[in-house]
Structure 1
Amino acid sequence: MARPNDEVESLLREYADLLAITGGDAFKARAYERAARAIAGCHDDVSTLGARELKAIPGVGKSIADKIEEYFRDGRVAAFEEVRARIPAGVRQLIEIPTLGPKKAALLHDQLGISSVDELADAIKAERLRGLKGFGPKTEENILHGIDLMRQTGGRVLLDVAMNLAEEIVATLSAVTGCLRCTYAGSLRRYRETIGDVDILAAATDSAPIMAAFRNLDLVDEVIASGEKKTSIRTTKGLQVDLRVVPLEAWGAALQYFTGSQAHNVRTREIAVHAKLKLSEYGLFDVETGKLVVSETEEEVYRRLGLAWIPPTLREDRGEIDAAARDQLPGLVTERDLRGDLHTHTDLTDGVATLEDMLETAAQRGYAYYAVTDHAPNLVMQRMSDEKMLFQRARLRELDGKYGRMRLLHGTELNIDADGDVDWPPDFLEGFDVCVASVHSSFGQSRRDMTRRLVRACENPHVNIIGHPTTRLIGRRDPVDADLAEVFRACARTGTALEVNSLPDRLDLRDEHILWAKEFGVKFAINSDAHSTQNLHGISYGVGTAQRGWLTPDDVINTWPLTRLRKFLLKASPTP
C-alpha cells in the first residue's frame, strides 16, 4: 500500500498541475509543488498528524493542512475534485510529455479537442497543429520526441519507486510463519536505473502461507497467475511483481539465477558446461551423475565455477566474469565508505527543510563533514543574494562543532551559463569551501558549444565538481549533446570531479559514462543533491550507480579524509 506521504505528495502535485492547466495563480501552483516536496521529505506519517503538526512542515500553511486533513477524513478533497471534473484525464497526461507545458496542453484541448497522448501524436502527423500560435515544425518535432521518451519507459518505474515497493513486500513476507529467507532479486538488486517488474525470492519448506500472504497484500490489484513455486501480481500502480519460493538448500543458486542479468547468466552457464556441470535455479549439478554439487550460497556457486563472488551491481557481462576468474574484481565503494555529502540544499532556496534539520539528519548518518550548497543568483527563481549567502555562511560557522565530529562546509551550486561562466566574481567565490557547478538552462546548445561550455567550467579554478553533468531527467529529458571525452579530459586535467547525482530521476552520471570517465583518470563525488532530510538517505541510489561504474573508494572524493579532500578542493592551476 502506498505510503500516506506519497499519496498526499501525488495529490498536491496533481492539483498544482490542474491549476497550471486552468490558468490559475502561478504562485499558488508553486506553493502546492513546494508543499508536495515537503510532504514527501517528511519522516512522520502525515495521516497521523494534526493541523498544528502539519503546519509545522515547511511550505504547509493552514489551507493546505486543512485539505490534507480533509483527504484523510473523507478520502477526497472537494476543491480538487471540482477542478478535476473540468479537465479530461488525458489532458492531465499531456503535461507529462517532456517539452509540453500546461499552457500548451490546455490550448490543444480547447482549440483542437485533444485529450490523449495518442490523439496528439496523430494530430501532429496530420499537421493539425500548424495553425496554432506557438506550434511550429520545431515545436512539433520536440513534442514527438517527448512522446517517444515517455513511451520508452513504458511500464518501467524509477529505481526508488521499485525499491520502496520491494522493501515493503519483503518486510511483510519475512514476518510470515515458515518464511526462512526473503529478499528482492532481478534488475532491482543490480540497481538498474529503471525497473520493469520486481522479482521477490523467498525460501520455505511450505510455500502456501507465503503465497497466500503475497496474494492478499493491500497493494494487489490483480493476481495474474498463482502456483506453488511462482505467483505474479499486478499492483494498484500497475507494476508487476513476481514471487518465487524455493527450498532453503537451493537459495544460493536461485538468488544467482534470478538476479541476472541474462547476459551474465549465459556466461556463467557456459563456464559450467565446459566443466561438465549444469547450472540452474536449483543448483549446480554434475552432468554425468545428476548429483547436486553446490546450491546453498551464491559464494559456493561462483567458487565452484572458478570465480570470486561477483557483486550484483557488476553482473552485466562487462568484464566482471574475466576479472572474477583472475581474482581482480575491484573493491567497490559502499555507502559506509562515504564520509560526507558535498551537494545539498535548504529552504533558503528550493529545499524544503531548514538548515538545522538538514544538519541534524546528516549528523545522524555519521558523516565526518557536510556541505551546504544552495543555489547561486543566476537561477533567478531561487532569489539568492550576496547578503543571504553570507548570512548562511556566518550561521554555518557558528554551528560548526555543534554536531559531534561532523565539520560543516559552506558551498554553493553555481549555474554554468551558456558561455561557460558562473555566478559571482572570483573574489566572492574565494570564500566558499566547495563549489558545485551545473547546467540549468540552454539545454539545446550545439555539441560544440555545449562541450566548450562544460570545459570552460572545468577550467574555472573555483569550480570543484560538475553537478549532474549531462542534465538528463530519466524519461523526461535527454542528456545534453556534448563531446564527453573532451569533458572527461578537461576534468582529469584540471582536477575537477564529476558528480554521481543520487536523485532517482537523475542518476547522472550514469554507469556507462562513469566507466568511460574513469579511464581518463577522473575523480567523482557521490552526492545526494538533497532538497529534504529524506533525500539524504537516497544517496544509496548514487552508490549503487557508482558500483555499476566499477568505482572504488579511492575514485570518490567524499570517501577521503577531510585533510585530503581540502587539498583536492584547492584545485591546482590547470596544466596545458
Structure 2
Amino acid sequence: MDPQEALLEIARLLERERASRYRAKAFRAAAATYEALPDDARQDLGRIQQAKGIGASTFEVIRQALAGETPSYLVELRREVEPEIVSELRSRLRGDLHAHTEWSDGTTPIAAMADAARALGHEYLAITDHSPRLRVARGLTAERLRTQIPEVRALSGDGLTLLAGIEVDILEDGRLDQEDALLGELDVVVASVHSKLAMEPGPMTRRMIAAVSDPRVSVLGHVTGRLVQGERGTRPPSRFDARAVFEACAEHGVAVEINSRPERQDPPDELIAIALEAGCLFSIDSDAHAPGQLSLLDHGAQRAERAGVPAERIVTTWGLERLRRWAG
C-alpha cells in the first residue's frame, strides 16, 4: 500500500482510540515528511531513513509498505481499535459543531481537520477552539480569534463548509469568556463550564441558565463535565437543577450537546431523558482534538438512538441552511 496512506491511517486509528497525542503526531509528521520527499527519494530506503521526521517505527511502516506488505503495526491497530459503530442515526448526521485545532489544544492545523471531515462526508464542521480563560489549552484571545475567523472560512470547499466558532468558557457568574461583539461575528458558539465544576448546585444552576440565556449561545457543551474513563481518570458530574437548565435551553433554542467522547458520555442517560421532556434540541458533537476523533460521532449517535432522541430534534441532522438560520 502507499506508505503515506499507511502512516495517515495509523494516525487516525491512534487518534480514534485516544492514544498518546505524541504518537499520532509522529505518524502525521512522518507522512508529511514522506510526501515532501523528491519523487526519486520515495523508493530509496536509505534517503527515507535519514529524512528528518522519520523515526524507527515510522520507517518500518514505510519499509513494509514499499515491500508490498500491509504494515504489521497497521494490521495490529485495525484489529485492536474499535471499528465505527453503524447506526441509522449516524447515517443521518450531516456535520459536527464542536472541534479543536492546534490553535488551542488540538493537535493539527485547521486544514487537516477539514480534510478529515470531508473524508467522513460532512456537509459542515464548526471549528470551536477554546476561549482566553482556559490558558492551559492555549485559549484564543480576541485578537487571535479575529485572525482565525477568515482562515477558517477560507478553507471551505469541495462539499464542506467550515463554520467559524468557539468553545467559550462559562465564567462563574454566567458571563461568557469573550467579547460580545466578537461572539456575534461567529457562526456557532458552544458554551461550556471548565472551572469550579464542584460549585454548589444553586450557583451552578444560575451560572448555566445565565449562559444559555445569552442570545449568542448555540450549544451547551458537555453539560455535567464528568469523566467516566480514560487516561485523565474519572471526575464526578457537576450538580445543578437539570430541569431548570434544560427548560432555559428549550426557551432560548439552545441545543444540549450529546458529547461523543467515550470518556465523557455526557449528559448521562437520565439527563438526556429530562432534556427530552423539557423540549430541548440536541447537537451530537465529536469534541474532536485530532482528525481521527471526528469519527467518534458514532458513539454519540448510538447513545442518542438508544435514548430515543428524535432525529428531527438533533440540529446536526439538519442541512446547512436550516442550521445557519437556527444558529444565527
Question: What TM-score do you get using the length of structure 2 for normalisation?
Answer: 0.76
Query: Given the alignment, which residue of 191, 201, 207 partners 1:437?
Result: 191
Which residue matches 1:370? 125
Identity of aligned residues (%): 35
Secondary structure, aligned partner of 1:374 = coil
Shift of the 40–70 alpha-carbon distance from structure 1 to 2, 3 Å rule, reads: closer
Question: Would you say 1:380 and 2:291 are equivalent positions?
Answer: no
Instruction: Give 1:37's aligned amino acid.
Output: R
Q: Report the equivalent of 1:466.
A: 220
CA distance in 2, matches of 1:423, 1:500: 22
TM-score, structure 1 as length reference: 0.45
- Considering fraction of residues, name the structure with more strand: 1
Distance 1:6 1:364 in 2: 12
Inter-CA distance 43–498: structure 2 relative to 1 (3 Å threshold): farther
The aligned residue for residue 73 of structure 2 is none
Counterpart residue number, 1:417: 171
Correspondence 1:241-390 to 2 at 5 A? 334-381=89-136, 382-390=138-146
Task: Return the offset for 1:503.
Answer: 1.0
Aligned length: 286
State the partner residue of 1:39: 23
2:283 counterpart SS class: strand
Q: Tell me the alpha carbon deviations over residues 279-336 of structure 1, each in whole angstroms, 9 at most, x when there is no partner.
A: xxxxxxxxxxxxxxxxxxxxxxxxxxxxxxxx9xxxxxxxxxxxxxxxxxxxx86111
Classify 1:450/1:369 alpha carbon distance in 2 versus 1 (closer, same or farther; 3 Å).
same
In the TM superposition, residue 169 of structure 1 has moved relative to its aligned partner by 7.3
**Could you tell me which residue of structure 2 aligns to residue 530 of structure 1?**
288
How far is the alpha carbon of 1:50 from its aligned partner? 9.0
Letter in 2 for 1:398: A
CA separation of 1:43/1:488 partners in 2, compared to 1, >3 Å: closer, same or farther?
A: farther
SS at match of 1:375: coil
Tell me the residue number matched to 2:149. Answer: 393
Matched, 1:447 2:205: no
- The code of the aligned residue for 1:345 comes to H
Q: Secondary structure at the match of 1:413?
A: strand
- Which residue identity lines up with residue 363 of structure 1 in the other structure? R
Q: Does 1:69 align with 2:33?
A: no
Instruction: Go from structure 1 to structure 2 and tell me whether the alpha carbon gap of 1:473 and 1:41 turns closer, same or farther (over 3 Å shift).
Output: farther
Higher relative contact order (CA 8 A, sep 6+): 2
Tell me the CA shift for residue 396 of structure 1.
Answer: 2.2
Q: CA RMSD in A?
A: 3.7
Assess if the C-alpha contact under 8 Å between 1:502 and 1:526 holds in 2. yes
State the SS of the aligned residue for 1:538: helix
Pick the structure with greater CA Rg: 1
Cα distance in 2 for residues equivalent to 1:433 and 1:554: 21
Q: Note the C-alpha offset of 1:428.
A: 1.4
Whole-angstrom CA distance in 2 between matches of 1:379 and 1:50: 31
The equivalent residue for 1:517 is 275
SS at match of 1:334: helix
1:397 partner letter: R
Asked whether the equivalents of residues 333 and 546 of structure 1 are also in contact (C-alpha less than 8 Å), the reply is: no
Secondary structure of the residue aligned to 1:540 is helix
Residue matched to 2:297: 539
Tell me how far apart the structure 2 counterparts of residues 449 and 513 of structure 1 sit (CA, whole Å). 19
1:555 to 293, 313, 322: 313
> Could you tell me how far 1:520 is from its partner in structure 2?
0.8
CA contact 1:374–1:412 (8 Å) conserved in 2: yes
Unmatched 5+ stretches in structure 2: 1-8, 38-51, 61-75
> What is the SS of the residue equivalent to 1:500?
strand
Task: Return the letter of the residue paired with 1:469.
Answer: V
Over residues 336-360 of structure 1, what are the superposed CA-to-partner deviations in whole Å (9 max), with x where a residue is unaligned? 1011110001101100011111101
**Distance change (3 Å), C-alpha of 1:444 and 1:169:** closer
Which amino acid in 2 is paired with 1:435? V
Displacement after TM superposition at 1:35 (Å): 10
User: CA separation in 2, counterparts of 1:8 and 1:556?
Assistant: 29
